[in-house]
A = this chain, B = another copy of it.
């Protein structure tokens, strides 16, 4: 007897690189025969072309720049790469600065106004401005598997010896934590945005 496939996991051309689509057939219950679809990105996180450091040259070919941290000697890096199977990629410090003063535009070439960050998220590091923090934070929120918390080192130590104290996995902002009241305020904003969307669609 030819039993149909109950679990089927496939790569799929329409999906971003590294994503897989899995179809699972419901076998029992009232909804037996229906198919649940799951998407997995395990193994490869995010589009490699978006992982910093990023070239700001216009090109459809993704060519990430690879500059190593200055205080890591070549020999120590080779040893680490051998241990970890060369999976840990070096990260450029302050890659965000390369994108400074570049703004997004709409189709009419009108620049889109700046987005303001909450006051409590303060820039940290030498010569880092608010727009730069925004890029840094947005990238972290997109990529990081772990929580985005900001830099833990003190402001003075970062400004004097950034190479030592900057954590490249975290955005260039001061350490911040979110409380119940923050969550509540954000929920209210979402509620309000939904209301306005409703009204807009009705009209």
A residues at B contact (CB < 8 Å): 1, 3-4, 28-30, 32-33, 194-195, 197-198, 201
Contacts and interface: CB of A to CB of B under 8 A. Distances in A.
A194 B26 CA distance: 11
A106 B33 CA distance: 30
13 contacts: A1-B195, A3-B195, A4-B195, A28-B194, A29-B198, A30-B198, A30-B201, A32-B194, A32-B198, A33-B194, A33-B197, A33-B198, A33-B201
A143 B173 CA distance: 68
A4 B201 CA distance: 13
Q: What are the 3 closest A-B residue pairs judged by CB atoms, nearest first?
A: A33-B198, A32-B194, A30-B201
Contacts of A29: 198
A199 to B, nearest CB: 8
A33 B29 CA distance: 29
A1 B3 CA distance: 59
Of the candidates A1, A3, A29, A198, the one having the most CB atoms from chain B within 10 angstroms of its own CB is A198
A193 to B, nearest CB: 10
Contacts of A4: 195, 198
A33 B196 CA distance: 11
Contacts of A195: 1, 3-4
A73 to B, nearest CB: 48
Contacts of A3: 195
A3 B201 CA distance: 15
A44 to B, nearest CB: 23
A197 B4 CA distance: 12
Nearest to A28: B194
Nearest to A25: B198
